[in-house]
Amino acid sequence: MTPRGSARRVPPGTRVLAPVMALAAVLAGCGRAKEVRANDPENAPSATVAKVVRQNVTDRLEIASEFQPFQEIDVYAKVSGYVQKLNIDWGTHVREGQLMAVLEVPELEQKLQLDAAALRKSQQDLRHAHDDLNRAQSAYDVAHITYTRLAEVQKARPELVAQQDIDVAQGKDQEADAALSGAKAGLAAAEQAVAVAQAALDMDKAYYAYSRITAPFDGVVTEMYAFTGALLPAGTSSNKGDLALCRLSQNNKLRLVIPLPERAVPSVSIGETVSMTVSSLNKTVQGKIVRVAGEIDKDTRTMHTELQVENLNYELIPGMYASVEIGLHTAQDALTIPLEAFQPSGEGRGMVLVVNEANKIEPRRVEAGIRTAFLVQILNGVKEGEFVVIGDQGQYKGGQLVKPVAMQPAKTE
């Protein structure tokens, strides 16, 4: 027996095993508690879900391109001269017919004076020709009447008029007739001389009018090449080095040229209105398809397509980029899910995680149709009204119990 008051002696091995057994008991208890919480719906992980709904969905093609002026030209002078007056500068808005610059052309002014003098001389010659014609006409009338009367008297009373007098009168009649013809020819020549002088004057006036350079259309001066005092050569040659006055761009309407893919060609038509987003302005504008090439480029498999955009307030600037949306195909009353719920696994195929009526994860293979930036058309694999998981789907496993949390309805087209 152990003496009273003395300490009980515990074997050394017992002191080591006791804490180990206690820890094992605690861990076993924790394992049983965790198993109980896993089967508890209140402790199931949350899963964001969206409802499978029916709606119209459209396959849209998005192409980015840059705006171009409707037309853009370098404005040249038609006659050579020095810039005497300049009414434009960088960024000036002009209207069709507005005076942009006046050229000084002294030699042309002198030529106009010479042309005017030549015209006056020709007109004076024409008046003289008229006078000559009148005199020749009078002489012919007198000679012809004299010869006619003598001839009639000779026929009635041959003894009263000598044959010599008849011959003389006849010769004067023929001479007067020739003079009359010459006077008529002189008058015609004088009239032609007046016409030539008038044409020369009109031509030089037209050239002189070219010394006033006007805007051929409504536009904006986007670049200046010459200023007051500069010599502008006549821009009538093929020399590309000829100096222009300025560059003029018509920006009140713009072109947007897009390379339309071959698959989209049947879906567009001339006159169709399409939307385009200008990211730099954070704005959406409307444009109209006005021209198509009518032929697919063999290298790029695209077709040249032009859109026209009205820009009356000049808010859009050539060079800005715009993203064009073109609707290709539309499915009516189609089963749709959010794009985030679809995991593609091949052409037209994919996987979704359905939360069934027991709130358990059910992986399903589905067949997809039209895809947009927000939606996917599901051809088979899910039913209307079912819920699919969206977001990070790698954290869920088939048969796992989850707590579904409905999201806002998916964005429609």
What digits encode the pLDDT tens for the residues 69-92? 999 999 999 889 999 999 999 999
Q: Are residues 272 and 339 in the same domain?
A: no
Quick check: is 13 in a domain? no
380 CA to centre of own chain: 43
Quick check: is 265 in a domain? yes
Which stretches of 157-248 are DSSP H helices?
Answer: 163-209
CATH number at residue 276: 2.40.30.170
Least confident of 182-191, 273-282, 328-337: 328-337
Q: What digits encode the pLDDT tens for the residues 183-219?
A: 999 999 999 999 999 999 999 998 899 999 999 999 9
Q: Are residues 99 and 218 in the same domain?
A: yes
Contacts of 280 (CB under 8 A, 6+ apart): 320, 321
Element (H, E) at 37: helix 12-38
**Is pLDDT larger for residue 11 or for residue 165?**
165
Burial of 180 (0-12, 13-18, 19+ CB in 10 A): buried
The domain boundary residue, chosen from 194, 227, 244: 244
Q: Are residues 309 and 276 in the same domain?
A: yes
Q: Are residues 336 and 318 in the same domain?
A: no
Q: Work out whether strand 302-310 and strand 283-296 pair parallel, antiparallel, or are unpaired.
A: antiparallel
Q: Are residues 96 and 226 in the same domain?
A: yes
Contacts of 61 (CB under 8 A, 6+ apart): 261, 264, 267, 325, 326, 327, 328
Quick check: is 170 in a domain? yes
Quick check: is 37 in a domain? no
Residue 393: is its pLDDT beyond 50?
yes
Please state, in angstroms and rounded to a whole number, the distance separating the CA atoms of residues 108 and 85.
17
Our count of domains for the chain comes to 4
Q: Which domain holds residue 275?
A: 250-329
Is the alpha carbon torsion for 380, 381, 387, 389 positive or negative? Answer: negative
Quick check: is 3 in a domain? no
| Average pLDDT over every residue of 164-178 | 89
Is the alpha carbon torsion for 51, 53, 59, 65 positive or negative? Answer: negative
Burial of 395 (0-12, 13-18, 19+ CB in 10 A): exposed
Quick check: is 72 in a domain? no
CATH number at residue 170: 1.20.120
DSSP letters, 268-331, are: --TT-EEEEEETTTTEEEEEEEEEEEEEE-TTT-EEEEEEEEE-TT--S-TT-EEEEEEEEEEE
| Average pLDDT over every residue of 355-379 | 91
pTM: 0.60
**Chain mean pLDDT for the chain:** 86
The domain boundary residue, chosen from 307, 329, 351: 329
Would you state the pLDDT for residue 11?
47
Q: Are residues 296 and 231 in the same domain?
A: no
Residue 23: is its pLDDT beyond 60?
no
The domain boundary residue, chosen from 222, 244, 266: 244
Place of tokens 């502008």: 232
Q: Are residues 255 and 119 in the same domain?
A: no
Quick check: is 225 in a domain? yes
Quick check: is 9 in a domain? no
Q: Are residues 345 and 215 in the same domain?
A: no
**Is pLDDT larger for residue 309 or for residue 267?**
309
| Average pLDDT over every residue of 133-153 | 91
Q: Are residues 240 and 261 in the same domain?
A: no
154 CA to centre of own chain: 93
Q: Are residues 267 and 291 in the same domain?
A: yes
| Average pLDDT over every residue of 360-365 | 94
Q: Are residues 342 and 202 in the same domain?
A: no
**Is pLDDT larger for residue 142 or for residue 413?**
142
Please state, in angstroms and rounded to a whole number, the distance separating the CA atoms of residues 397 and 409.
25
Q: Are residues 293 and 313 in the same domain?
A: yes
